[in-house]
Amino acid sequence: MSDPADRIIGLYDDRAGDWIADRGRTLGGPEKTLDEVAALEAFVEALPPGARILDVGCGSGWPWGEALLERGFRVTGVDTSPRLIAHAATSLPHGEWVVGDMRTFDLGKTFDGLIVWYSLFHLRPDDQRIALDRILAHAAPACTLMMTAGWGGGVRIGAWRGEPLYHASLPPDVETAALTAAGFRAGPCPLPDAGLSDPRVRLARRG
């Protein structure tokens, strides 16, 4: 059997239609473990009007990209799945949608807001550290980052539609050190009743 960590990119592309159906078009998520509406409000409250936002692991563009575009933000989404990016480009033409690997992408520009939602934790921990540096390299001097992470270090194998689904997390101190080195002040996102421990939500600011 192949390593579930190696299967992640192919899994989401091969089953893009299933993911689009399961994720849905409204904030809340397939498992409803987080109050995504409250998370959205906490994120946008920290941003200037019309801010440039980078959504890393944007999937189909729904629901996060759509919600941000609807509020007048300029959204660029990056995802490894060509099929999910094609759906985003077709259904949300006012956004910019790019096929790219979060470990290696370089858009040549910076953003006022970075969102990394249910995506980074699908990589192995060592790759997460590489990806986090790539993501933070796209931060403007004044920037807000919101991200979901894992469970304090280690690996968990879940399941989705009968296939293993890889999750891992960096130790919190390693994650915090990366944010601090990039000039961010990091802390938990203050969302009421949002199930912050699984996964964690972090809201970090610089500038």
Taking the chain, what is the end-to-end CA distance rounded to the nearest angstrom?
Answer: 47
Does 7 score more than 80 pLDDT?
yes
CATH of domain 4-206: 3.40.50.150
Q: What is the mean pLDDT of residues 104-109?
A: 98
**Which residue is associated with the tokens 């807001």?**
113
DSSP 122: G
Cα separation, 143 vs 17, whole angstroms: 33
- pLDDT digit string, tens, across residues 56-105: 999 999 999 999 999 999 999 999 999 999 999 999 999 999 999 999 99
- Determine the angle formed by the axes of helices 16-23 and 4-14, rounding to 10 degrees: 80
DSSP 106: -
DSSP-assigned beta bridge partners for residue 36: none
DSSP 15: T
Q: What angle do CA 122, 124, 125 make, to 5 degrees?
A: 110
- Structure tokens belonging to residue 60: 């189909």
Do the strands 163-169 and 52-56 form a parallel or antiparallel pair, or are they unpaired?
unpaired
- Structure tokens belonging to residue 1: 């059997």
Domain boundaries, the chain: 4-206
Query: Mean pLDDT for the chain?
Result: 88
Extended strands (E) in 20-171: 52-56, 74-79, 96-99, 111-116, 139-148, 154-160, 163-169
| AA letter at 171 | P
Q: pLDDT at position 186, please? A: 67
Q: pLDDT at position 139, please? A: 98
Nearest to 119 by CA among 79, 174, 62, 69: 79
Cα separation, 101 vs 81, whole angstroms: 9
